Chain A
Amino acid sequence: MSHRVGNEQSLASPAAAATSAGVRTAVLSPATVRDGLARERFPLLQPAAGRPPRHYLDTAATSQKPASVLAALDDFYRYRNANVHRSLDSLAASATAAYEECRRRVAAWVNAPAVAGVVITRGATSALNLVARGLEHLLAPGDEILLTEMEHHANLVPWQMLARRRGLSLRFLTITDAGELDLAQLPHLLGARTRVVSLVHTSNVLGTINPVAEIVAAARRFGAMTVIDAAQAAGHQALDLQALGADALVFSAHKTYGPLGLGFLVARPDWLAQLEPLEGGGEMIAWVDWQQATWAEVPHRFEAGTPNIAAAAAFPAALDLLAEIGQDTIRRHEQAITALALDRLQALGGITVYGPPAADRRGGLVAFADAVVHPHDLSTILDQAGVSVRAGHHCAQPLHRRLGVPATTRASFGLYTNTDDIDALIAGIREARKVFDR
């Protein structure tokens, strides 16, 4: 799966950056690619006295936060802190308004069919568990769930748990050696017993951007429910739930320049209404007696207990930043950075890159293996040079077994990633090789 991609000259060219089909042709200047987008607004990325510069290449694990999000968190705790939907005073009304504003903003951002179709969760993992548990009563032994070979554990293990409880069988859409889903297999895997198709939008290991709309359309012909794990897509490219045609979409705020402890399940309200709530407690009920209770309306029935109100209040500041820069501009920037990283890694020699060879088929991340230096050693040596990467299986153990490698090193990018970051990565790999070649 080793390949060589592009060259540095073409990367600096706006024409090359804008070749991806369907992308509006705003010009992304070479200087923008060099400097990153809005990097100055991310406090952790700023050089400071007594602290070496940090080349943060682990955005796929969690993104850094712009100052506006930090200020919004501070503002909430300082001036608006109260619980939601309960007390009647003006402070609680203000907190509730901030929380519901987040729901509205997310609904608009992913083109949800209705604001009530946005469930606020603790993260993408919580959202996927909510779906897998919530569907349990609708499934019968022998029913099939179709996943893919490139799922994160978050979109695999909850379905395994469900399958064990209900006697379901899990099936997997295979990947090709080029790291893309093998769509030719789809007709053999979909059938009358297929009840749910749940797949990753953008792989957190291969970087592959999957043809989600096409797979969703095929699944719908068999009446299967469709769920999209957009954890690695949100914030990196425009998302449109209605255009994708899927029943449900999940993502987390913390990978999208927002606060930790916040995520979303987005679907049609009537689709959500068929799910059983995962958690019972305050806030999710309509009427409670000693022996039984009835549920609140969708989406509140899925939000038992006190949610992360501060995170919800702050997340719109991240969406503001994305809107200000423009999702297409961000996509083109990350594509240019990814092409640069692919090219520089291949130029080193002795590097195996996993996933599609072309940057326009990938999200902003590159997982690779060095012929000499183990990912864990490489990660330690890179860290000493101020470069943060992730080494390991990236919560995708079966995929790594499929790739035939126990661990990889992953460099992942965000809107703020600049060419210095890539230079530091390459220099760090060279340094690691020097250590091991002594």
Chain B
Amino acid sequence: MTGPLDTLYREVVLEHHRHPRGNRPLADPHIEASGQNPSCGDDVVLQMRFEGDRIAAVGVLTHGCAISTSSGSMMAELIEGRTVGEAAALAERFREVMQGKTFPAEVDLGDLSVLEGVKQFPVRIKCALLPWLTLLDAILARRQGRPPQPLDTEGLPAGGPPMQVDLKERS
């Protein structure tokens, strides 16, 4: 295999797809959010337990393609142990990357940087963003003290809905 497929299906992507991190339901989650990308049948359930403002445990249960599954797996790896604000900032950074910006050098996005190859496949950007948009919506719901609404990417622009997460709250 040569060409764009190489950059899309990197070994690390496939490894996350085969063995997704956080792929088990949490016993007693503080929050559970769901997102779906109906046009391709992807869906994700995100569960989190908090200790104060810190994300203590993450469950990411994805049914979907290799891109959405591996993106969710990388997300579980990246956000566990971080504060809610840090997680929101990561999600925003990743969304900006998917919308065309380059990966910020100052932020360690771990394995996530390999998903940059998705940009060459515009119809797949929604797959990569699905778990992250679900996370942003869950964080927003927590701040607003409401239950998360099921997120449906159908009809949304590729970059997802404007989430209005307040950047000042990040620390």
Contacts and interface: CB of A to CB of B under 8 A. Distances in A.
Which of A380, A381, A392 has the most chain B CB within a 10 Å cutoff? A380
Contacts of A438: 11, 14
B1 A380 contact: no
12 contacts: A374-B65, A375-B41, A376-B40, A376-B64, A376-B67, A376-B127, A377-B9, A393-B39, A400-B41, A407-B40, A435-B1, A435-B14
Contact of B66 (A374, A393, A406): A374
B124 interface: yes
Contacts of A376: 40-42, 64-65, 67, 124, 127
Given A377-B67, A381-B5, A393-B41, 10 more contacts: A374-B66, A375-B65, A380-B5, A393-B38, A393-B39, A407-B40, A431-B1, A435-B1, A435-B5, A436-B9
Interface in B47-89: 63-67
Interface string A421-438: 000000000010011101
Contact of B39 (A384, A392, A431, A436): A392
A169 interface: no
A374 B130 CA distance: 16
Contacts of B65: 374-377
A339 interface: no
Contacts of A94: none
Contacts of B40: 375-376, 391-392, 407
Nearest to B63: A406
B29 interface: no
B8 interface: yes
A400 B36 CA distance: 15
Contacts of A405: 41
Nearest to B66: A377
Contacts of A407: 40-41
B157 interface: no
Nearest to A405: B41
Given A391-B40, A438-B11, A374 B1 contact: no
Interface string B26-45: 00000000000011111100
Contacts of B124: 376, 380
A111 interface: no
B106 to A, nearest CB: 32
Nearest to B3: A384
B25 interface: no
A406 B42 CA distance: 7
Nearest to A437: B14
A406 B41 contact: yes
Nearest to B10: A438
- Bin chain B's interface residue count: 20 to 34
A397 B119 CA distance: 28
- Bin chain A's interface residue count: 20 to 34
B44 to A, nearest CB: 12
Contacts of A377: 9, 65-67
A402 to B, nearest CB: 14
A130 to B, nearest CB: 24
B4 interface: yes
Which of A377, A381, A392, A397 has the most chain B CB within a 10 Å cutoff? A377
A380 B41 contact: no
Given A376-B64, A384-B3, A435 B127 contact: no
Contacts of A384: 3-5
A438 B67 CA distance: 16
B77 to A, nearest CB: 21
A374 B17 CA distance: 11
A369 to B, nearest CB: 10
Contacts of A392: 39-41
A374 to B, nearest CB: 4
Contacts of B11: 438
Contacts of A436: 9, 14, 17, 66
B41 to A, nearest CB: 3
Interface string A384-420: 1000000111000100100001110000000000000
Contacts of B66: 374, 377, 436
A434 B5 CA distance: 12
Nearest to B37: A376
Contacts of B8: 380
Nearest to B39: A392
B121 A380 contact: yes
Nearest to A431: B1
Nearest to A400: B41
Q: Which 3 A-B pairs have the closest CB atoms?
A: A407-B41, A406-B41, A376-B65
Which of B3, B11, B38 has the most chain A CB within a 10 Å cutoff? B38
Contacts of B9: 377, 435-436
Contacts of B3: 384
A391 B127 CA distance: 13
Contact of A397 (B17, B38, B67): B38
